[in-house]
Amino acid sequence: MPTIRVLYIDDEENNLNAFKAGFRRQYEIYTAISASEGLKILQNVALHVIIADQKMPQTTGVEFFKSIAKTHPDPVRILLTGYTDIEALADAINHGDIYRYITKPWNDLELHNSIKNAYDAYKAKIDLREKITELEKTNDELNRFIYSISHELRAPLVSAMGVINVVKMEGLYDSCGEYWSLIETCANKLDYYIQKTLQYYKNNKIASENTPVNFEKLIPELINLYSYTDKDTHFHVDIKQDREFYGDAFRIEVILGNLISNAIKYQKEDEKDKKVNIIIEVKNHAAEIIISDNGMGILNEHLEKIFTQFFKIKTNHGTGLGLFIVKEALNKINGKIAVSSDLSEGTAFKITIPDGK
């Protein structure tokens, strides 16, 4: 067991000698006959536990502990009191100025156990601080990693996708069989994974901030952003917003963007009339949104799993991240989502987002 360093402050020398005699073999003992002497020791020795008598001239034990709370927060503080001062004790305990108090004359076993418990509290405090430091370091490393993904990794990927577009413009796309198509598919999938990783990271990092949300402006922007992959899908949009709605614009875009993207992505390849319906009604306390499609649908046995990270139905579509991110984002803004699906008719998601006003 490591040596526990204990400082005892008391204006009665007999008490100091008695304490030293009783505990010198168990702890590394320091004694001081006044608060000012105790402070000098505290400034030069890394102490674990400080014991102070309450009734001392000039400075009481509680006053001393309060005076060192900010400058020396780590040592755990025990108060010895020979008289009842309930108000001072209650105030000291409530403000965290003392860990425990013991009445005088002390019982050796009680004081010994108190010192051991106080040291355990000291160690827990230090261990927690070290863990926080480690987490902060890990968080900084994660920030740098995400920056690398969003910039250094995506830059060459965008360049590769640019080359593919040049190949298309020059009419060489089909000149090598399916090779260019395979490269484009892999590049798009990698880009999609990068984008979803960034969405998930930002959703967990960014604090929620409510600002005005104009659905009549937002929905067309999201449709234009995601419909480039399939120009054959027709959108029917019905938005009723006659009042101001406040919400987390970033997360609302993430939620609606992923759902619109999925509605396009999971269309039936042989469907001649691909449709996506978006209905939004802004009410007094919430926005109710329904996004439905006539796509391939979802099996009933999969409906409870689709919001699970990396869950994929047996198709070549998706990554298993989109709906997981949607659920995570809704949790951040206290939103709700429900889904119904039929293999012959398609899928409908109903979202409720509370007004953040």
Residue 246 has pLDDT above 90, yes or no: yes
Most confident of 104-113, 145-154, 155-164: 104-113
Q: pLDDT value at position 305?
A: 84
CB 288 within 8 Å of CB 281: yes
- The angle that helices 322-332 and 249-265 make with each other, rounded to 10 degrees, is 150
The residue extents of the domains of the chain are 5-106, 144-205, 210-354
DSSP H stretches of helix in the chain: 13-23, 35-44, 61-68, 86-94, 108-147, 154-169, 179-205, 215-226, 249-265, 322-332
pLDDT value of position 326: 92
Among 259-263, 297-301, 308-312, which stretch is predicted with the lowest mean pLDDT?
308-312
Q: What is the pLDDT of residue 193?
A: 75
**Lowest pLDDT segment from 7-11, 83-87, 148-152, 204-208:** 83-87
pLDDT tens figures, 180-195: 888 888 887 788 777 7
* Region of residue 231 (phi > 0: left; psi between -120 and 50: alpha; otherwise: beta): alpha
CATH number given to 5-106: 3.40.50.2300
The whole-angstrom distance between residue 312's C-alpha and the CA centroid of its chain comes to 26
Q: In terms of pTM, does the model score above 0.75?
A: no
* 24 vs 289: CA distance, rounded Å: 72
The predicted structure's pLDDT at residue 313: 61
Pairwise pLDDT comparison (126 vs 174), residue with the higher score: 126
Cβ pair 114, 102 in contact under 8 A: yes
Q: Which of 67, 41, 72, 38 is nearest to 52 (CA)?
A: 38
| Domain range 210-354, CATH architecture | 2-Layer Sandwich (3.30)
pLDDT given at position 275: 93
